[in-house]
Each structure stands twice: as structure tokens, then as C-alpha cells.
A = this chain, B = another copy of it.
Amino acid sequence: MSDKTVISVDTAGGDKGPAVVLSGLAQSAKKNPDIAFILHGDEAELTKLLRRRKVLRDVCEIRHSDKVVAMDDKPSVVLRRSAGTTMMNALDCVAKGEADVAVSCGNTGALMALSMLKLRKAPGVDRPAIAVLWPSTSAHGYNIVLDVGADVRADDRTMAEFAVMGAEYARLSFDIARPRVGILNVGSEESKGRVEIRRASELVAKITPAAGDLEYLGFVEGADIVGDKVDVIVTDGFTGNIALKTAEGTATFISDSLRAAFTKSIMSRFAAAIAYTSLRRLQKRIDPRRVNGGVFLGLDGAVVKSHGSADATGVSAAVKLAFRMGKTNFAKRVAERVALLPEKRQTHEAGEGT
């Protein structure tokens, strides 16, 4: 397996079970000969599933575990009972260097807590963050938003780290050299919002040039998350989590209303049948399952969180991202960028310089 990028997969923990996860891995393996998997899950079940998947047989190694972290387990409970779970074992392979990156469909809070425990923060990083791709009107079709829930608070130095880490993720995802970055606020004028956020904006403008290759554009508003003003939206985990869930709720609400509108009368059912392809295309675009996988930035190792209800295509998308992260040594590059920021005790002086 040594020439391949090895992905350590937690096959349990998702809503749809290992069969769907393996179907996603098969999609990826078909397209990409440079990929290999270590599968964590029930050996008997995985062996049976692999029998049906020729393309996976020679690129998979099974590590047995029947202990699973449940979707509704609290992180505190998980931490106490994590030993030997498929999630912990998947991370362990990355920690030991057996795999380049870990992928899990499991509980986000638990995955972050165990990743912190097992992989630790990367040197120089104060607070890791969860970043998501968000559908937008930009040329590359998505924006990046962070943090969406790793930590509920973020001071000005943390915001600067988020900006640098988010920009690195934008370079990986969108192939752009100089990502545009904004901080989420209640208005785009410099005078808007809380004192802390104005101070954070000043510091980000001041110290991120040291970490290079990003264009800081100041404040952006909620509507800019789906717009083309910036590529990376930086916010604290509290605000980011609420914005994400509000947007998901709004998208689901509209999808459901659309479905209701199209089943209301015989004419509208007829129209829906004709417009089926167009409607499917739209639904794909706004479907949270396709985009709400997240990556954990700032850890000493790469972890991709696929959405709990991801189907095979969703899992395959997560694997593709994981492959690119493994191949390019992404986690290390993020840490190197953050290390270019002035040291923490100097940050304050830099921030107060003018």
C-alpha cells in the first residue's frame, strides 16, 4: 500500500450503515487507482460486503471493532468510553502514521473531541476549527465558512488563525492562489458590530499578511455567505453554527414547500413530471447532505467529517477531499501557515501598533 494515499475509514456511525459507506468508497476506488483504505467496523459484515465489491478487495484492509459511537452520545460520554470504537481506531491509524487521513460519518462533537485527544492540536495553533463548504453564487460554486461549532468563543487572535487556515482550505478546494477572506458581522461598514469584532478585524488586517497569500476584505454580512464577495467567511463557532443550521432549515423548508406546491393539483403534478430533471438538479445543489461534510483544521493530522446522512455520492465526495488532503500533506501545510503569524505574545503589540 506504500505508494498509495491511505484513508482510514470509520464505516460505522453514519445513518445509513456500512453498505452505503462501502458503496461510496467503491465509487472513489473506481476513479482513483492511487487510493487505499483501512476499514474500521465489524469484520464479518465488512468481509461480506467486500465480497460484492471487486474494485475494493485489493485496496482495503479490515480492522475489526463492533464498538460504535452513537449519533446522540454526548462528547463527554464518548471521551470516557472511546477506547476501541471504530471512530477512535480510525483516528489512531492517522496518529500512528499508518494512514494519511481519517474519514467518518459519525457524530461531529464526538469526532472533534476524539481528534483533539488522539491527534492533538498542530504546533502553534491555538484553537482548531470546523470548516464547511457552503453553496454560493461564486465561480467555484461554494464558499468556506469557519468555525461552525468546534468552539463557541473566538478572540481576535483566534480569528486571525481561522482566516489563515480557511484560506489554506480555499486554496486546496478551489485552486485559487489568493483567497478573499471576510469576517461575519451585522454590516459591512467598519463601524458596525461589537467592539471585540472590530478589534479582531483590525488584528486580522494587520497580522495575516505575514502568513501570506490572502486578501482580507473586512466585514461581510449574512447574505454574503451565499454570495461572491469573499471565498472564506470567518466567524466564531456560536454564530457559525447558528448561521449553518438556519440556512439548512431554510433550505429544507423551501424544498418541502416546493414539493407541496408541486403535488397540490393535477396540473402541478404534471408540471413536476416534466420539470423533473430541472428540479433534481436544483435539489442536488441545495441538498445539505452534499455540502455539510466538514474538515477539521489545525489538528496534527487530517480528518474529514462526512455528513451523517451522506449517501454513496456524499461519501465518495468526502473521500475525494480526503485524498487531496492526504496527497498534499494538507494538515502540515495549515500548521506551517499558522506558524507564520507573529507569536501570541507579540500579537498584541502588533495589534496595538497603530
Which residue numbers of A lie inside 8 Å of B, CB to CB? 74, 135-137, 149, 152-153, 184-186, 189, 191, 193-194, 221-227, 235, 237-239, 241-254, 256-258, 261-262, 264-265, 267-268, 270-272, 274-275, 277-279, 281-282, 285-286
CB-defined A-B contacts under 8 Å, sample of 22: A74-B189, A137-B256, A152-B186, A152-B193, A152-B194, A186-B241, A194-B238, A221-B242, A222-B246, A224-B249, A235-B242, A238-B239, A242-B243, A243-B243, A250-B250, A251-B254, A254-B286, A258-B282, A268-B275, A268-B278, A271-B271, A274-B274
- Residues of the B chain whose Cβ atoms lie less than 8 Å from the Cβ of A270: 274
Q: State A264–B275 Cα separation when bound (angstroms).
A: 10
**Considering the complex of A and B, which 7 residue pairs feature the smallest CB-CB distances, nearest first?**
A222-B245, A223-B249, A271-B275, A222-B246, A271-B274, A261-B278, A268-B278
- Residues of the B chain whose Cβ atoms lie less than 8 Å from the Cβ of A244: 222
- Residues of the B chain whose Cβ atoms lie less than 8 Å from the Cβ of A185: 242
In-complex Cβ contact of A186 among B227, B238, B279 (8 A)? B238
With both chains docked as a complex, state the minimum distance between the C-beta of A152 and any C-beta of chain B, in angstroms.
Answer: 5
Q: State A239–B189 Cα separation when bound (angstroms).
A: 17
- Residues of the B chain whose Cβ atoms lie less than 8 Å from the Cβ of A254: 251, 254, 282, 286
- Residues of the B chain whose Cβ atoms lie less than 8 Å from the Cβ of A252: 223, 226
- Structural contact, B274 and A242, CB atoms closer than 8 A: no
- Residues of the B chain whose Cβ atoms lie less than 8 Å from the Cβ of A256: 137
Closest to A76 in B: B191
Closest to A263 in B: B278
Closest to A242 in B: B222
Closest to A286 in B: B254
With both chains docked as a complex, state the minimum distance between the C-beta of A200 and any C-beta of chain B, in angstroms.
Answer: 13
Q: State A158–B256 Cα separation when bound (angstroms).
A: 35
Q: State A221–B241 Cα separation when bound (angstroms).
A: 9
Q: State A149–B267 Cα separation when bound (angstroms).
A: 43
- Residues of the B chain whose Cβ atoms lie less than 8 Å from the Cβ of A225: 246, 249
Closest to A236 in B: B194
Q: State A251–B279 Cα separation when bound (angstroms).
A: 16
Closest to A262 in B: B278
- Structural contact, B247 and A246, CB atoms closer than 8 A: yes
Interface centre among A136, A184, A270, A275 (most CB of B within 10 A): A275
Q: State A245–B187 Cα separation when bound (angstroms).
A: 10
With both chains docked as a complex, state the minimum distance between the C-beta of A249 and any C-beta of chain B, in angstroms.
Answer: 3
Q: State A186–B261 Cα separation when bound (angstroms).
A: 31
Q: State A191–B271 Cα separation when bound (angstroms).
A: 48
Q: State A225–B274 Cα separation when bound (angstroms).
A: 33
Closest to A135 in B: B253
With both chains docked as a complex, state the minimum distance between the C-beta of A332 and any C-beta of chain B, in angstroms.
Answer: 30
- Residues of the B chain whose Cβ atoms lie less than 8 Å from the Cβ of A184: 242
With both chains docked as a complex, state the minimum distance between the C-beta of A251 and any C-beta of chain B, in angstroms.
Answer: 6
- Residues of the B chain whose Cβ atoms lie less than 8 Å from the Cβ of A237: 186
- Structural contact, B226 and A249, CB atoms closer than 8 A: yes
- Residues of the B chain whose Cβ atoms lie less than 8 Å from the Cβ of A224: 249
